[in-house]
Every structure is written in C-alpha cells, then in structure tokens.
Amino acid sequence: MSSRWKKVWADFWGNKTRTFLMILTIIAGTFAVGLNSNLGLLMNRDMDADFLSANPSEATLYVSPVDDDMLASLQEIDGVGEIEGRSDVTAQLLQDDGNKVVISFDGIKDPAELSVNTLKPANPSDTTLPTLNDKEVLLDRTAKSLGYEIGDMLSIELSNGKVRELRLAGYVHSVTTIPYAMMGQAQAFVNPETLEWMGGTADYYTKLNLSVAENATDQQHVSNVTQAVSDRFEKAGGTTYFILIFNPGHHFAWDVTQGVIVVLGVLGWMTVALSAFLVVNTIVSLMSQHSKQIGIMKAIGADTRQIMVMYTTLIFFFGVVAFIVSVPLSSFLGGVVLDGMAGWLNFDTGAFTIFPKTVIQQAAVAFIIPLLAALLPMWNTVRITVREALSDYGLGNSGVKQAKKQTKDSRVLSRPVRISIRNTFRRKMRLALTLSTLVLAGAIFVAVMNLFGTFDQTMRDVEKYFLADINISFDRAYRYEKVAGIVEAVPGVESVEGWMMLGGEIISADETTANELALVAPPADSTLIEPILTEGRWLMPGDENAIVIGNHLLSVRPDLKVGDTIKLNILERESEWKIVGVYNIPGNVIPPLVYVNYEYVSHLINSPGDVYSLRIITSEDDPAIVAAIGQQLQTLLDEKQIQVSNIELAAEWRLQQTQQTDVLVYFMLVMAILTAIVGGLGLMSTMSINTLERTREIGVMRAIGASNFDIQKIVLVEGLFIGLLSWTGGILLSAPITSALVYGVGLAIFKTPLQFTFGVQGIVTWLAITLGLAILASALPARRASRLTVRDTLAYE
C-alpha cells in the first residue's frame, strides 16, 4: 500500500471517535431507510400473499335462509367467482374468572374443504388442519391469548341463556378474520350439526361469502356484482339484510399499513437529510483540521485531484462500514418488526429476504449521499493554497469578523457567558448546519408527540358519541322499564338510557339504488352523546322525521345536504326524513350511522318503549370498579333471563382502539428518537470541533487565570445556548410537520383528516431532551478542554 493510501487508512483508523461518530451518522440514515423499506416490502408481500392465499371474499351478504339450490343459482351470476354459504351463531364464552367473551361460530362441513375464506394450520410449518367432530370447536389462533389448550372444554352461553360445552379440537389460521385483540370477539368454527345444537341451522345459510371472478380490488365492480347477487336473491323471495364490503381484495389492515409505511418512509428520509447535514458538519471540521496537512501535501507535490481522491476514498470507507452494518441490521430488525406486525394483524410471514431495492436505496444513502454532502466542503478545502494552509500564526480570527464597533458591556450576563454566546456565532455555517440538524430532529419529535396527542383527542372525539361507561346490547328488544329497572338496582349505576339501533337503507332519488346504513336512536334528551356538528343542528325533543347524517354517509352520497328530504327503508317500510344536521366522526364506520329521535322511530316501527341497548353511567370512574359493576350487571341480567349479546366497557373499548394507534406512534417515536440521536451527534461533533479549534485560546485564558470550571462553563454554556436556539426553531418547524403528519395519518387510518393538536407535552419533553443532549454533547469537549495545560495549548499545531 502506498503511503498516500496509508494516510487515508490512518485518517480512518487513527481518530476512532471521529470515525465512530461519522459511521454512526451514516448508519442512522442507512438503517432508517433500510428498515422502512424492508418493512414496507415485507408487509406488502406477506400480508396480501397470505390473505389472497385464502381465496378471500370481497363481500359478505347477511340474508334470510338460503339453501344449496339457491346458492348454486347465485353462483351462476356473471362476475361471481365463488360464493359460499355459512350459518353462524353469536354467543358468549364463559371464562373461569367469570368474564364473558363474545364468540362467533361459523358452521363449516370440513375445515380443509372451504372454497372461500379458507382456513390454514395455525402453525405455518404444519401441513394439515385439525379435524372437526361433533361438539368440537376450532378457534382462530388470535384467540390463543384467552389461554385455552387443545382438549379443554369451552363453556358457551347461548343467547337463550343455555350453556353448551364444546371441546377445543385445535387452533386454525383464519387470515380473513379480524384478530381477537382488535375486535374483542373470538372467531370459532364448528360443524353444521354442532351449530344446530347451539341454536343455529344446519340446512340453510344465513351469510354468503362472495368472491368475484376478477377485478377483486375494484370497489365499484365488487359492489355491482354483490348487488346483482342480492337482486337475484330478493327476486326469488329472499331478503338481504345487510351487505358488508370493506377494502375488497386486500387484507383488512392494508390501507392502514400503506399509510404507516408512507409516513415512516418520509421520517426515514428525513433522518437521511439529518445525517447528510451531520456529514457536512463533520467533513467541514475534518477538512478544517486537515487543512495544514493538505498544504504540506501540496508543498511536497500532491495535486488537487490526488488529495480529492484521498478524501473521497475516506468518505467511501465510512460508507462501506455503515453499509455493512446497516444492511443486515435493518433486514434483521425489519423481520423482527414484521413478525410482531404479523402476530398483531394475523398473517403468516414468508421466507427471509434481502430485497435488492432496499439494498440499492441503502447503498445510495451510505455511499452517494455522504459523498454528495461532503463534495463541496472537500472541494473548498483541497483548493486551499499552501500559503493559506500554513499561515496560522497567533490566535487567528477563527470566524470572528473585524469588530465594527465596540461591544457594549452587559450588566446581565457575565463575561464568560458572553464569550460562550459570541463563540456560538463564530462559525456561522457550522452553526447553521448543527442547528438544521437539531431543529429538524426537534420538529419531528414534537410532531410525533403532537400526533400522539391528536390520536388521544380523536379518541375523545369518538367517545363523545359513546359517553356511557357501560353499554349493554340485547339479542332482542326489551321493554325499557323492565331492563332499566333491573340495571338501576345495581349499586354504582347512576343513570341509564335506552337506545335503539336499526338497520336500514337510504334510497336514491331515482329509486334505483340503495345504500346500507344504521339508524341510531338515542332518547331526545340524551346526555350521553355530544356530537361534533359540521353543519345544521342536532336532534331536539319534539323532532319527528328529523335526521342527522354523518361524514361517512356523505362520502358515499356527497349530494346530500341540510334541508334535503331523503327516503329510508326501515324494516321493509319506506319513510321520509328531513336532514337537519351533519356530524363528523373519525374512523371507519361501516355501515354509515345516522341519528334519529328514539321517540319517533320507535313509534314508526310500532315498538314504543322497546330498547335494544342500555347505556349506563356509573358513579365511579375507576375502570376496575366499572368492570365490577359490569360483572354484577351481567349476573343480574342472566338471573332475570335477559338475553344479553354483549356488555362493553368504555375503558376496554378505549384500550382496544389505542392499541391500534399506539403501534404506529411507537414506530414513529423510534424514528423520532433516531433523529434525536443524530441531532445529538451533530451537536457533539460541533462542540468537539469548536473546542479543538480554540485550543490556543483556551491556553491563553488559562494563562491569564481561567480555572477548570471557567473553561468548562464556557464550553457548556455554548452547547446549551445552541440547544436552546434549536429548541425554539424546532417548535416553530414542528407546526407544519405536525399538520402534514396529522393530515396524512388521518386519511390513511381514520379516513378523514384529523384535528390539528399542538400539545405542551412534546415541547417540554423536547426541551428536557435538548438540554440533556447539549450537556452530554458538551461535557466531553469541556472536560477535554479543561485538562489541557498552558504549555500543551500554546504549543498546539
């Protein structure tokens, strides 16, 4: 190896701290891009691959009983790929601790012979599915968290209060089922005979799973084929109660994950930008330290090109190490995160793969971006003349311009503090780069914290529609006086409201099409709903055919507005309603909800005084106490033989919802912390360079009496001052980033832009982090500076 390459190697290996910081900086960007790219590619590959391998249905029709002949007839309709009938029963799983879990049973003849929404072994390495005999049950594997072992007997309470014992024959993987942890409802499979024994039907189907022959992801096409099936069925005398089409052709979490991948991708590239800033800063300092060496090399015959190639190679070395570390690390962690996501979203993962696309991106980030970032500072320095490089007698100006006027004495700040503040601004380009890194890091961090706050606010907005502490749903209508009387007798129950919920359709003006919707009917004087109105007004006592529609209905019927009269089909009876208001609720609501007065609609369907659910306010807010009250209510209603389909606690609902958004926030927080680390590295690098550059000044200050503490204070205060400047800038920049993040994530996850929330928590947390980073980043250079002797510093070359 020639001596010039030995110099390059010595520059690389000789200053291990600088090399480590430089490589770490490049790793941050390369790793972030690699992790996000790997995760995105793995998710897109595995989630849909597993989903599509189950021949998923794009639509589900809930219908009056269908026999095999009718099913065969529906199969012949143009556009239908496969149509499979199933009967189902919803019951409650009685757990040993007294809790009840909603469980839905699908009747299937043979788990291995399904044509739509097929089942797979719970363990991907198994090749056969468990068999299903009489009085046996298969559970979807996401319900494993309930703790049942194969062979255990499951106690199932039917809606009529009877209890059936089923043996757990095994777990299966039903990729088309929404996981238990998300739905709060377990999915189970029994054979038709067992389903009949549990109150279902073995000879007919009540649910049709429809898979279209082509264009599975085309919502309109799926909707048309489904409507054709429904029309044929109704023409033959059947009734379609409800049609469910959700994100056809894709896993249920597809949209959400696409949004998350995009947002994480943006954050990843922001980390690359930060990393590039830091590379510039480090290279500027490296070149500044090496300017004398460059001068000497030029003096002994090196030309600019030769020196440029040497430093380019050095940068390339940094990139090589960062690349070698980042590629396996991001692949490995991508796999780990994918496994976590797969467990959470219920899909099987494929073989471990290193994606060429990711590797190319990482190569670009590791090799090209640092080179591009370093090019200008390198070029500027290698062009230095020998005279400029070697003429540094005295203390130099180190960025201090000729004073135009005498600086005024400050009565507020001590002289050392003023030195720190002046030092901050001596190298303006370096300061700008350091501030850019820290400001961007801070802005991302605060924006992610704001997103956290926005999710919280969104949950609170959603909760405004469900203000009760406990919601009890019944399998059939009950007289309000009867069930309210039972419930009010339980200690801790403060107030009760009886609500009604009905399925219906909104008929188009030309009466050719109809859209599914659900009518929610609270009492006119309800205190358990605080809607967010975007137009018009809420329901008032005395309103008769008044209706308040929401953003979800408007997305399918954008022509509707306040003052319009619409025609609804409720329980096969048409009625006219006047739109008095429009509300907004975030999230996916299928079918769209509309609100009407309980008093009017209950008369309309000839069921005045009947309710389908009770909404209860308790006197205590403690979730444990509310859960205990829920337990008592369950026991009491069971004793009175009231058929409860579900008791839902507000706290549990909130936990389920936040679990979904928390994963996203934690991901983003990881990215934000990564940017904070890069920002901290930037500050540390700047402080080290600043201190090194001022070694002689430090020597002079020591010679005229500065103590260790004085020197350390000057360096620390400078670091803190830079930190505080960046904190201010970070807060300002976080506003547009928060706005973009909230908008993008809102559309991706909640299907609606979320309300911009700017919280204090993020600002204060980032202040603490900034000050901590500044102290950490300055402490080492400060200590180093204070340990220099006068002789060392003044002899410094």
Q: Give the burial class of 260: count Cβ atoms within 10 A of its Cβ; 0-12 exposed, 13-18 middle, 19 or more buried.
A: buried
Measured from the CB of residue 404, what is the shortest distance to other proteins in angstroms?
11
Q: Are 615 and 471 in contact (CB under 8 A)?
A: yes
- Comparison of 90 and 293: residue with beta carbon closer to other proteins: 293
Question: To the nearest whole angstrom, how small is the minimum distance from the Cβ of residue 397 to other proteins?
Answer: 11
Minimum distance of other proteins from residue 14's CB (angstroms)? 5
Report the nearest approach of other proteins to the CB of residue 407 (Å): 17
Least distance in Å: CB of 290 to other proteins?
10
Helices 760-787 and 708-745, interaxial angle, to 10°?
A: 150
- Is residue 219 a contact partner of residue 248, using CB atoms and an 8 Å limit? yes
Q: Please, what is the minimum distance in Å from the beta carbon of residue 341 to other proteins?
A: 47
Residue with Cβ nearer other proteins (292 or 567): 292
Of 676, 533, 546, give the one whose Cα is nearest residue 599. Answer: 546
Q: What are phi and psi of 187, to 5 degrees?
A: -105, 130
Cβ proximity to other proteins: between 14 and 340 the closer is 14
With respect to other proteins, which residue has the nearer C-beta, 24 or 297?
297
In whole angstroms, the minimum distance from the beta carbon of 298 to other proteins comes to 5
Smaller CB distance to other proteins: residue 304 or 635? 304
For other proteins, which is the closer residue by CB, 4 or 232? 4
Decide whether 383 or 787 has the Cβ nearer to other proteins. Answer: 383
- Which residue lies nearer to other proteins by CB, 12 or 445? 12
Least separation in angstroms between CB 783 and other proteins? 23
The token pair that represents 66 in the structure block = 């269908």
Among the residues of 170-243, which ranges form H helices? 180-183, 192-197, 219-235
**What is the DSSP pairing of strand 470-479 with strand 185-190?**
unpaired
Instruction: For residue 431, count other CB atoms closer than 10 A to its CB.
Output: 20
Nearer to other proteins, 352 or 796 (CB): 796
Residues facing residue 484 across a β-bridge: none
Dihedrals phi, psi of 473, to nearest 5 degrees: -105, 140
- Strands of 584-696 (E only): list them: 593-596, 610-618, 644-649
Of 482, 742, 768, nearest to 614 (Cα)? 482
Q: Which lies closer to other proteins via its Cβ, residue 404 or residue 411?
A: 404
Q: Shortest distance, CB of residue 13 to other proteins, whole angstroms?
A: 9
Q: Which residue's CB is nearer to other proteins, number 386 or number 790?
A: 386
Return the number of the residue (397 or 641) whose C-beta is nearest other proteins. 397
* Torsion sign, CA atoms 467, 472, 473, 479: negative
Tell me which DSSP letter residue 525 carries.
T
* Burial letters 600-631, b for 16+ CB under 10 A, else e: bbbebbebeebbbbbbbbbeeeeeeebbebbb
Which tokens hold the place of 705?
Answer: 């009496």
Q: Shortest Cβ distance from residue 282 to other proteins (Å)?
A: 17
How far is 637 from 582, CA to CA, in rounded Å? 36
Contact, 39 vs 335, CB < 8 A? no
CB 688 within 8 A of CB 286: no
| Closer residue to other proteins (CB): 291 or 632 | 291
The nearer residue to other proteins, 387 or 408, going by C-beta atoms, is: 387
CB of 286 to other proteins, least distance (A): 13
Residues that bind other proteins (CB under 8 A): 2-4, 6-7, 10-11, 14, 292-293, 296-306, 383, 385-387, 390, 402, 797
Bridge partners (DSSP) of residue 646 are 473
**Smallest distance from other proteins to CB 693, Å:** 17
Structure tokens at 21: 């910081």
Q: Is 587 exposed, middle or buried (0-12, 13-18, 19+ CB in 10 A)?
A: middle
Residue 185, CA distances (Å) to 167, 279, 467 in order: 19, 51, 22
User: For the packed helices 356-363 and 304-345, what is the interaxial angle rounded to 10 degrees?
Assistant: 140
To the nearest 10 degrees (0 to 180), the angle between helices 16-52 and 3-14 is: 80
Cis peptide before 591 (omega within 30 of 0): yes
Q: Residue 392 Cβ, how far from other proteins at the closest point, in Å? A: 11
- Per DSSP, the three-state class of 539 is coil
Smallest gap, in angstroms, from Cβ of residue 325 to other proteins?
24
